[in-house]
């Protein structure tokens, strides 16, 4: 199994990644993280009692377009019905028009996953079947809950868990 370590100015968040079930999503996240893509970004969207969102490279400079940036490409969703948006779920953010059936099969539309992701404060079942849950917090949920909009993502690294 793979593990992500997210260092923030508020502390460290450890995440178990679902690399066997969501290999494309985890592989993309790992590639970006280990290439230091996320280093120095901000948590650009934080909604109390909902989630924290990061992964927009535009957040380094700020401005009106923050929330619209990405890596320059898009990947498909990997909806896995057994992974729910529980407290501490790591999920891909997207603005796509894709729709999936209850099994996760894509019915149509365009998925727009890239680099933006979010971590939930609480269960958000209305997002199940809409966004790819590709990991869960194993340590540091208190850090997730302490993050404020504009806080720093110091670094994210992915490694094989021993």
**Token pair listed for 159:** 């490694």
Model pTM?
Answer: 0.95
Give 5-48 as a DSSP string.
EEEETTEEEEEEE-TTTSHHHHHHHHHHHHTTSSTTEE--EEET
pLDDT above 90 (res 63): no
Q: CATH code at 27? A: 2.40.100.10
Confidence category of residue 59, pLDDT binned at 50, 70, 90: very high
Which tens digit of pLDDT belongs to each residue from 119-135? Answer: 999 999 999 999 999 99
Based on the structure, what is the number of domains in the chain? 1
Give mean pLDDT, residues 2-27: 98
Which tens digit of pLDDT belongs to each residue from 89-122? Answer: 999 999 878 999 888 999 999 889 999 999 999 9
Full residue range of the structural domain in which residue 142 is found: 2-160
Give 66-109 as a DSSP string.
TTS--SS--B-----TTS---TTEEEE------EE-TTS-EEES
- Per-residue model confidence (pLDDT) at position 161: 81
Give mean pLDDT, residues 49-55: 97
Give mean pLDDT, residues 132-153: 98
- Per-residue model confidence (pLDDT) at position 153: 98
Confidence category of residue 158, pLDDT binned at 50, 70, 90: very high
- Per-residue model confidence (pLDDT) at position 96: 75
- Per-residue model confidence (pLDDT) at position 52: 98
Give mean pLDDT, residues 15-24: 97
Angle at 32 between CA 28 and CA 37, to 5 degrees: 155
């Amino acid at each position: 199994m793979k593990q992500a370590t997210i260092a923030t100015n508020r502390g460290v968040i450890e995440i178990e990644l679902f690399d066997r079930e969501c290999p494309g999503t985890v592989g993309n996240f790992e590639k970006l993280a280990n290439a230091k893509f996320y280093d120095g970004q901000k948590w650009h969207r934080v909604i109390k009692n909902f989630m924290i969102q990061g992964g927009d490279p535009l957040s380094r400079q700020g401005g009106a377009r923050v929330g619209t940036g990405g890596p320059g490409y898009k990947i498909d969703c990997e909806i896995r019905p057994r992974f729910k948006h529980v407290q501490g779920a790591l999920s891909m953010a997207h603005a796509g028009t894709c729709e999936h059936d209850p099994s996760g099969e894509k019915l149509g539309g365009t998925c727009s996953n890239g680099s933006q992701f979010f971590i939930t404060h609480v269960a958000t079942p209305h997002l199940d079947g809409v966004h790819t849950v590709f990991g869960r917090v194993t340590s540091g949920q208190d850090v997730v809950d302490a993050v404020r909009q504009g806080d720093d993502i110091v670094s994210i690294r992915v490694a094989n868990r021993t």
